[in-house]
Amino acid sequence: MAKVVKSVESMMKLSDGFRKKGLSIGFVPTMGYLHEGHISLVKEAKKRNDIVVVSIFVNPTQFGPREDIKKYPRDMERDLKLLSRYKVNAVFAPAAKDIYPTGYRTDIEVKGLSEKLCGASRPGHFKGVTTIVAKLFIIVKPDVAYFGEKDYQQQVVIRKMVRDLNMGVKIKSMPTVREKDGLAMSSRNTYLNKEDRVKALVINRSLNFAKMLVNSGIRSSAKIKAAMTRLMRTASGLKIDHISICDPETLDERSIIKGKTLIATAVYIGKTRLIDNIVINCA
Ligand code: AMP
């Protein structure tokens, strides 16, 4: 089993030790309930660093008041078993009360990027993400941290935070890992019943359809969004939260598709919010 570190102080000491020995630390922050998407980050970290630290922490500050953090799937034993296969050096699994002790008052927010896309319907979400990631960087002291492109906006916001605050941590993004039928892997997929699981396939299909339309010469974002909306509406009960066609760095919406472009969407299937995206490159 991987070594589990619960206290902030012990994790800091452990990382100090690694650093003193000149060992490079690769870090994979997660909320647990691990799947192949997480594992792809762990494998990359393992390949490129002397030491790999994975954190498992369901961060309360990134959940909205109407989002049920208690229901978020957890299975520490299973996660640890899985991680032991990849010989990670430490699993940092702190308690919320140690990360945010009574009287905690400090937040980090990347203004301008945090309010867009998913931030519009999840106010405060990215502030919670950047605050916890900054704290984890301070505690774990990684050289490189690994994030998934599935949460595209998240890695954009984190890259900006790292640059703006001169954090000196390299950020690496890895491609979205999908189920055989195209659904992006997510811990939240466990919320879906059989029927909803089938409906969820329309998300990735609509992104691929968008790509096909762009490749066929359509450049109007409005037209692409309308086509995606029509396709997604074939799944009964699916509610579109947003479809964004935007610059992949600034996240500014683009009315005409040109160059490298992010098409990102979030939908609700019942109460489950699922996200996915595709990056296209066109003349
Ligand atoms: P989470 O546990 O959902 O907070 O995710 C932890 C990290 O794993 C984040 O950097 C995610 O972007 C990444 N991740 C989640 N799902 C996938 C996936 N299907 N493919 C690649 N990375 C993923």
Q: Read off the pLDDT of residues 50-85 as tens digits, 9 standing for 90 and up.
A: 999 999 999 999 999 989 899 999 999 999 999 999
Length of the chain: 283
Q: Residue 219 Cα, ligand 1 centroid: separation in angstroms? A: 30
Ligand 1 centre to CA of 173 (Å) is 10
Distances (CA, A) of 177 to 3, 9, 19, 155, 251: 26, 34, 31, 16, 22
Which of 238, 197, 261 shows the shortest CA–CA distance to 228? Answer: 238
35 a catalytic residue: no
State in Å: Cα 94 to ligand 1 middle.
Answer: 19
Instruction: Report the pocket of ligand 1 as residue ranges, CB < 6 Å.
Output: 30-31, 37-38, 40-41, 147-148, 150-151, 174, 176-177, 184-187
Q: What is the structure's pLDDT at 137?
A: 99
- What's the pLDDT score for residue 190? 96
Indicate the average pLDDT of the chain.
97
Cα 220 to ligand 1 centroid, rounded to whole Å: 30
pLDDT bin (cut points 50, 70, 90) of residue 283 is confident
- Look at residues 30, 143, 37 and name the one whose alpha carbon lies nearest to residue 80: 30
Q: Return the best residue to mutate from 30, 57, 158 for the ligand 1 pocket (most ligand atoms within 8 A of CB).
A: 30
Which pLDDT value is given to residue 279? 98
Q: For the chain, give the percent of residues with pLDDT over 70.
A: 100
Which residue's alpha carbon is at the smallest distance from atom 13 of ligand 1? 148
Residue 2: the pLDDT is 79
pLDDT at 1 over 90: no
Ligand 1 atom index nearest CA of 31: 2
- Gap between the Cα atoms of 184 and 100, Å rounded: 31
State which of 38, 54, 162 you would mutate to test the pocket of ligand 1, scoring each by most atoms of that ligand within 8 A of its C-beta.
38
For 190-241, the pLDDT digits (tens) are: 999 999 999 999 999 999 999 999 999 999 999 999 999 999 999 999 999 9
Counting ligand 1 atoms within 8 A of each CB, the residue from 91, 137, 151 with the most, and so the one to mutate, is: 151
First to last CA, the chain: 50
How far apart, in whole angstroms, are the C-alpha atoms of residue 136 and residue 11? 10
Q: Which residues contact 180 (CB under 8 A, 6 or more apart)?
A: none
Strands 259-269 and 238-246, sheet pairing: antiparallel
Question: For 238-258, what is the mean pLDDT?
Answer: 98
| pLDDT > 90: percent of the chain | 98
Residue 120: is it exposed, middle or buried by C-beta count within 10 angstroms (0-12/13-18/19+)?
middle
- Tell me the CA–centroid distance for residue 53 and ligand 1, in Å: 15
Residue 110 CB neighbours (<10 A): 22
Residue 41 CA: nearest ligand 1 atom is: 22
Please give the number of the atom of ligand 1 that sits closest to the Cα of 188: 3
> Which residue owns the Cα nearest ligand 1 atom 11?
148
Q: SS3 of 225, please?
A: helix
The whole-number pLDDT of residue 270 equals 94
Cα 242 to Cα 14, 38, 176, 269, 273: the distances in Å are 42, 25, 19, 13, 11
Which of 35, 38, 125, 242 is catalytic? The answer is: 38
Say if CB 57 and CB 94 are below 8 A apart.
yes
Report the pLDDT value the prediction gives residue 13, as an integer from 0 to 100: 98
176 CA: nearest ligand 1 atom: 20
Q: Which residues contact 67 (CB under 8 A, 6 or more apart)?
A: 122
Q: Would you say 45 and 17 are in contact if contact means Cβ atoms under 8 Å apart?
A: no
Q: Tell me: the pLDDT tens digits for 13-34?
A: 999 999 999 999 999 999 999 9
Q: How far apart are CA 35 and CA 207, in angstroms?
A: 22
What is the Å distance from ligand 1's center to 184 Cα? Answer: 10
Confidence at 140, pLDDT banded by 50, 70, 90: very high
Shortest-distance Cα residue to atom 22 of ligand 1: 148
Task: Specify the 3-state DSSP secondary structure of 66.
Answer: coil
109 vs 4: CA distance, rounded Å: 30
